[in-house]
Amino acid sequence: MNNAILFFFNINTKEVKKINDNYYFNYAYNNYVVQIYNRDIEEAIEIYYLNLELLSNGFIGYEIILTKDNDVLFLYEGVYYILMKFPNIKNRIITYEDVINFNYIPNTMFKKLDKSNWGITWSNKIDFIEYQFDQVRNRYSIIDDSIDYFIGIWENAISYYNDNNINSERCVCHKRVSTNMDLLDFTNPLNFVIDYKERDLGEYLKSFVISKNYSNASLDRMINFSDRDGVVLVISRILFPSYYFDLYEDIILGNKDEYELNDVISKRNNVLYLINYILFRYSNLNITDIEWIKKEVSFH
């Protein structure tokens, strides 16, 4: 990697450390990471320009460094990488406040990064997963016994989203947010998408009720919506069982043991309780109830 950094960036660094799949080095008193680029290639240029816009507006985060030929990515041993300068921040686990305060509305239309059409995106993804599962059926007993239930919940999320006809403002969000995410991952431009702000909040709330002991009081502190559309979007996002299918994909790729699914499966009612509780809290907004969830779990 030393020679690649010299060739693509004219940076002569003596020591490059490889940690997992990424490379780290110090140059001119700044820390850098050469990170595997794991997004669609066609999104790279928009990720770069979004990064530029954020930094020019005071955002504290990574800075993407172009190659000497002004390319965003470079190819090394058959893999695309991106070079970024580390932000000057003290790393820590993110908080609920970090999530709700991260709401930058871009000045530019980043069409390739816009993931706000949940109905179409989710329908296409389900079609792919059903096809994929047919190829691995009977190889994973836990998946065999559980996937139909979570596909059903996902289809419910699609119907709920489509039936409510939402048109809300879009901002910079993340592919995923969780309660154990750190600030460096949170500010990494490779995690950014354009979507409804409720995307991040819904993902954080799901992670919160799955990974932590929670109470109604702790939920009340985080459930604070000003309009009906915001509530509907958060409920739609919480219904989307990302906590199951993210693990499912890692298992199929061989990166996780399928027994890790047992934990999220056992806590699925926590997610249903959260939805029921939000619907109860905002019943004055004339929001459609989800009857099967009301029957399956009750709030207290």
Query: Based on the domain organization, do 49 and 123 belong to the same domain?
Result: no
Query: Based on the domain organization, do 113 and 256 belong to the same domain?
Result: yes
Query: Based on the domain organization, do 209 and 249 belong to the same domain?
Result: yes
Q: 39 and 190 in contact (C-beta within 8 Å)? A: yes
Q: What are phi and psi of 82, to 5 degrees?
A: -135, 140
Query: Based on the domain organization, do 149 and 226 belong to the same domain?
Result: yes
pLDDT of residue 215: 81
Q: What is the CATH number of the domain that holds 64?
A: 3.30.200.20
- In terms of Cβ atoms closer than 10 Å to its own Cβ (0-12, 13-18, 19+), residue 175 is middle
Query: Based on the domain organization, do 214 and 249 belong to the same domain?
Result: yes
C-alpha to C-alpha distance for 9 and 35, rounded to whole angstroms:
15
Domain end: 85, 114, 131, which one?
85
> Is this prediction's pTM over 0.85?
yes
Domain end: 85, 106, 135, which one?
85
Query: Based on the domain organization, do 150 and 292 belong to the same domain?
Result: yes
Query: Based on the domain organization, do 227 and 263 belong to the same domain?
Result: yes
Query: Based on the domain organization, do 36 and 171 belong to the same domain?
Result: no
Domain end: 33, 57, 85, which one?
85
pLDDT of residue 300: 55
Residue 91: inside a domain: no
Residues 62-90 as b/e (b if ≥16 CB within 10 A, e otherwise) read: bbbbeeeeeebbbebeeeebbbbbbbeee
Residue 177: inside a domain: yes
Query: Based on the domain organization, do 155 and 231 belong to the same domain?
Result: yes
Query: Based on the domain organization, do 163 and 263 belong to the same domain?
Result: yes
Q: How many domains does the chain have?
A: 2
pLDDT of residue 220: 86
Q: Kindly report the CA angle at 275 between 270 and 279, in degrees rounded to 5?
A: 145
Residue 50: inside a domain: yes
Per-residue pLDDT tens listing for the chain (300 residues): 999 999 999 999 889 999 999 999 999 999 999 999 999 999 999 999 999 999 999 999 999 999 999 999 999 999 999 999 999 999 999 999 999 999 999 998 899 999 999 999 999 999 999 999 999 999 999 999 999 999 999 999 999 999 987 878 899 999 999 999 999 999 999 999 999 999 999 999 999 999 877 888 888 888 888 788 999 999 999 999 999 999 999 999 999 999 999 999 999 999 999 999 999 889 888 888 888 888 887 765
Residue 90: inside a domain: no
Query: Based on the domain organization, do 112 and 161 belong to the same domain?
Result: yes
Query: Based on the domain organization, do 104 and 52 belong to the same domain?
Result: no
Q: Which domain holds residue 24?
A: 2-85
pLDDT of residue 299: 60
Residue 160: inside a domain: yes
pLDDT of residue 211: 85
